[in-house]
Chains A and B, each alone.
Chain A
Amino acid sequence: MRGFVNPWVKRTDLKEPPPKAGLKAMPQFFQLENIKTQLDLVLLALEALAELSSEDILQAATKLKLDAVITDRVTLWRLRQSNPLRQSQGGRKKLDVEEARSLVLICCDLAQQHQDRIREAVTLLESLTRMHRPPHEAPLLGDYLDNFCNFYQARMEESAELDAEHLTQLALKLLIDLLFYSAPDGSRYFWLALLERSDTPR
Chain B
Amino acid sequence: MSLFQSVLKQYTTPTCNLEILSSSSATETSLPGIQKAPESFQLKIHPPLPVQNGKGSDFLQSDTEEPTILTIVVRGTVEQLQSLHAAIQNYLQGFLAKANVPALAATSTPGPIRFPVDPPRRSSPAVADAGIKLQPRGLTQHTLQLGSLVASPSVSAIELASTQLFDLVGTLDRYARDVPTPATEPQRQLIARPSGARKQGLWIAATALAALGLAGLAKVLPSFQGPALQVASQSATDEQRDAPNVNNTFQPGILPGLPTGTPAPNGLASGLPTPTGTPGATPSSAIPTPNPSQTLSVPGIPVPSSTSLPTAIPTAIPAGAESVAPGAKQSSSSFAQSLPKPVSGALKPVPPTFAIASRSPQLDKARGSNSAAKTYPPVSGSAFKPVPPAASRPPQTGIIPQANPAARAQPFEPFSPAAPPVSAARDAAAETAARTTPTETAARDAGGGTVFDITQQVREVRDYFQPRWTPPSGLDQVLEYQLSVNSDGSLWKIAPLGEAAGRYIDRTGMPLLGVPFVSPIPNRQRATVRLVLSPDGKVQTFFEGLSQ
User: Which A residues lie at the B interface, using CB under 8 A?
Assistant: 1-2, 4, 7, 13-16, 26, 29-30, 32-36, 63-66, 69, 94-102, 104-105, 108-109, 112, 115-116, 119-120, 122-135, 137-142, 165-166, 168-170, 172-173, 176-177, 179-180, 182-185, 187-201
Choose among B170, B205, B215, B299 the residue with the greatest number of A CB atoms under 10 Å from its CB.
B215
B140 near A125 (CB under 8 angstroms)?
Answer: yes
Decide if B260 is an interface residue (CB 8 Å cutoff).
yes
How far is it, in angstroms, between the C-alpha of A133 and the C-alpha of B261 when the chains are bound?
45
Would you list 14 pairs from A and B whose C-beta atoms are within 8 A, ordered by A residue?
A94-B213, A95-B215, A112-B257, A126-B163, A127-B60, A138-B56, A139-B56, A142-B56, A176-B139, A180-B166, A185-B173, A195-B275, A196-B121, A196-B275
A16 near B169 (CB under 8 angstroms)?
Answer: no
How far is it, in angstroms, between the C-alpha of A34 and the C-alpha of B211 when the chains are bound?
8
Complex partner residue of A191 from B170, B173, B272, CB under 8 angstroms: B272
How far is it, in angstroms, between the C-alpha of A134 and the C-alpha of B113 when the chains are bound?
8
A112 near B60 (CB under 8 angstroms)?
Answer: no
From B30-38, B88-96, B348-356, the one touching the partner chain is B88-96
How far is it, in angstroms, between the C-alpha of A173 and the C-alpha of B119 when the chains are bound?
16
How far is it, in angstroms, between the C-alpha of A104 and the C-alpha of B93 when the chains are bound?
15
- Contact partners of A142 in chain B: CB under 8 A: 56
Decide if B57 is an interface residue (CB 8 Å cutoff).
yes
Decide if B115 is an interface residue (CB 8 Å cutoff).
yes
User: Which B residues lie at the A interface, using CB under 8 A?
Assistant: 48-52, 54-57, 59-60, 63, 65, 92-94, 96-102, 104-105, 109-113, 115-116, 118-119, 121-123, 138-141, 161-163, 166, 169-170, 173-174, 203-213, 215-216, 219-220, 223, 240, 252-253, 255-258, 260-261, 263-265, 267-269, 271-276, 299-300
How far is it, in angstroms, between the C-alpha of A119 and the C-alpha of B138 when the chains are bound?
18
How far is it, in angstroms, between the C-alpha of A17 and the C-alpha of B101 when the chains are bound?
16
Minimum C-beta distance from B242 to chain A (A): 13
A15 near B119 (CB under 8 angstroms)?
Answer: yes
B169 near A180 (CB under 8 angstroms)?
Answer: yes
A115 near B252 (CB under 8 angstroms)?
Answer: yes
How far is it, in angstroms, between the C-alpha of A24 and the C-alpha of B56 when the chains are bound?
31
- Contact partners of A108 in chain B: CB under 8 A: 258
How far is it, in angstroms, between the C-alpha of A180 and the C-alpha of B255 when the chains are bound?
12
- Contact partners of B94 in chain A: CB under 8 A: 196
Minimum C-beta distance from B186 to chain A (A): 12
Minimum C-beta distance from A191 to chain B (A): 5
Choose among B56, B65, B300 the residue with the greatest number of A CB atoms under 10 Å from its CB.
B56
A98 near B265 (CB under 8 angstroms)?
Answer: yes
How far is it, in angstroms, between the C-alpha of A194 and the C-alpha of B220 when the chains are bound?
17
How far is it, in angstroms, between the C-alpha of A101 and the C-alpha of B211 when the chains are bound?
13
Minimum C-beta distance from A104 to chain B (A): 6
B116 near A15 (CB under 8 angstroms)?
Answer: yes
- Contact partners of A135 in chain B: CB under 8 A: 104, 112
Minimum C-beta distance from B16 to chain A (A): 13
Minimum C-beta distance from A35 to chain B (A): 5
- Contact partners of B205 in chain A: CB under 8 A: 97
How far is it, in angstroms, between the C-alpha of A199 and the C-alpha of B267 when the chains are bound?
23
Minimum C-beta distance from B74 to chain A (A): 21
Complex partner residue of A116 from B138, B220, B253, CB under 8 angstroms: B253
B51 near A124 (CB under 8 angstroms)?
Answer: yes
B65 near A189 (CB under 8 angstroms)?
Answer: no
How far is it, in angstroms, between the C-alpha of A162 and the C-alpha of B122 when the chains are bound?
27
Complex partner residue of A172 from B57, B101, B206, B255, CB under 8 angstroms: B101
A199-B115 contact in complex given A115-B253, A126-B140, A137-B59, C-beta closer than 8 Å: no
What residue of chain B has the Cβ atom nearest to residue A196's Cβ? Answer: B97
What residue of chain A has the Cβ atom nearest to residue B223's Cβ? Answer: A98
What residue of chain B has the Cβ atom nearest to residue A100's Cβ? Answer: B212
B210 near A198 (CB under 8 angstroms)?
Answer: yes
A98 near B216 (CB under 8 angstroms)?
Answer: yes
How far is it, in angstroms, between the C-alpha of A63 and the C-alpha of B121 when the chains are bound?
36
A65-B96 contact in complex given A172-B139, A196-B275, C-beta closer than 8 Å: no
